[in-house]
Amino acid sequence: MASFWTWTSDEKLQKAEDVLVKLAGLEDEEFKSYPVKFTFTARDWKEDYNEQMEYVQSNSWVCFCGTSQRYVPIEDNEYIWTYEFGDTSKPHIVIVHGFGGAGMIFFKMFKQLSQHFHVYLIDILGMGRSNRGDFDCETYEECESYFVNSIEKWRHKIGIGKMNLFGHSFGGFICSKYALRYAERINKLMLFSPWASEACTEDQLNGLEEEMKEQPLKRRIRYKFMKAIYQRSTLFEMARKAGRFLGSYMIKKFIHGRFSNELDAEQLEAIKEYLSQIILRKGSSEYGFVKMFPYFNRSENAILNHLDEYNELNLEISFYYGTKDWMDTCFNQTKVSQKLKDVGKKVYLIQDAGHHLYFDNPDESCDMILDNFKTGLKTLTSNNQILT
Burial of residue 98 (CB within 10 Å: 0-12, 13-18, 19+) is buried
Domain for residue 1, yes or no?
no
| Residue 55 structural domain | 10-387
Indicate whether 275 belongs to any domain. Answer: yes
Q: Residue 15 domain-assigned?
A: yes
Count CB neighbours of 43 within 10 A: 8
Give 3-state DSSP helix, strand, coil % of the chain, rounded to 5.
Answer: 45, 15, 40
Number of domains composing the chain: 1
* pLDDT, position 191: 96
List own/partner pairs for 230-237 with CB under 8 A and 24 or more apart. 230/290, 230/296, 231/290, 231/294, 234/283, 234/286, 234/287, 234/289, 234/290, 236/100, 236/279, 236/280, 236/283, 236/286, 237/283
- The H or E element containing residue 94 is strand 92-96
- Assign 251 to helix, strand or coil: helix
- Residue 30 has a pLDDT of 47
**In whole angstroms, what is the distance from residue 146 CA to residue 181 CA?**
13
User: Counting runs of H as helices and runs of E as strands, what totals does the chain give?
Assistant: 14, 10
Per-residue confidence (pLDDT) for residue 190, from 0 to 100 = 96
pLDDT attached to residue 209: 64
pLDDT of the chain, 388 residues: tens digit per residue: 545 455 678 888 888 988 998 899 875 444 443 333 333 333 333 334 445 445 544 443 443 334 578 889 998 889 999 999 888 888 999 999 999 899 999 999 999 999 999 999 999 999 999 999 999 999 999 999 999 999 999 999 999 999 999 999 999 999 999 999 999 999 999 999 998 777 666 666 566 666 667 778 777 776 676 666 656 556 777 778 777 778 788 888 888 888 888 899 999 999 999 999 998 888 899 988 888 887 666 677 788 888 888 889 988 999 999 999 988 876 556 788 888 888 888 999 999 999 999 999 999 999 999 999 884 333 333 334 444 4
**2 in a structural domain:** no
Helical ranges in 186-306 per DSSP H: 202-212, 217-232, 235-259, 265-279, 286-292
Q: What is the CATH number of the domain that holds 219?
A: 3.40.50.1820
Q: CB neighbours (10 Å) of residue 309?
A: 12
The answer as to whether 4 is a domain residue is no
* pTM metric for this prediction: 0.81
Q: What is the pLDDT of residue 208?
A: 62
Please report the pLDDT score of residue 148 as a whole number: 97
